Amino acid sequence: MIEKPVNPYAVLAAAVILPGAGHVLLGKTQRGLMFLFFTVILGWVSLRLTPETASFFSRHAGGILIYGFSVIDAYKTARINWELAK
């Protein structure tokens, strides 16, 4: 029996709440943990490289960028699985 794919909107909600959670919901745990790891690492690197007078967004730009990619990737994967199951 073929498993019904996860609703893309549920994956999107999980991905927005925590980086990598959407991938875990899809069964791609290693990919989700990779996104979480690089979100934290690049957030930390950009925090250390920017001056203290920079805005919060600027100081965490590396982590925010990877977080955005994570959300897009999780939703895209879920949407493709959803459409292929029709």
Furthest CA-CA distance within the chain = 57
Which tens digits make up the pLDDT trace of 12-71? 999 999 999 999 999 999 999 999 999 999 999 999 999 999 999 999 999 999 999 999
CA distance to 21, 41, 65, 84, 86, per residue, from 61 (Å): 20, 11, 6, 35, 38
Nearest-angstrom CA–CA distance, 70 and 48? 22
- CB-side neighbour CA atoms (13 Å) of 1: 2
State the pTM of this model: 0.90
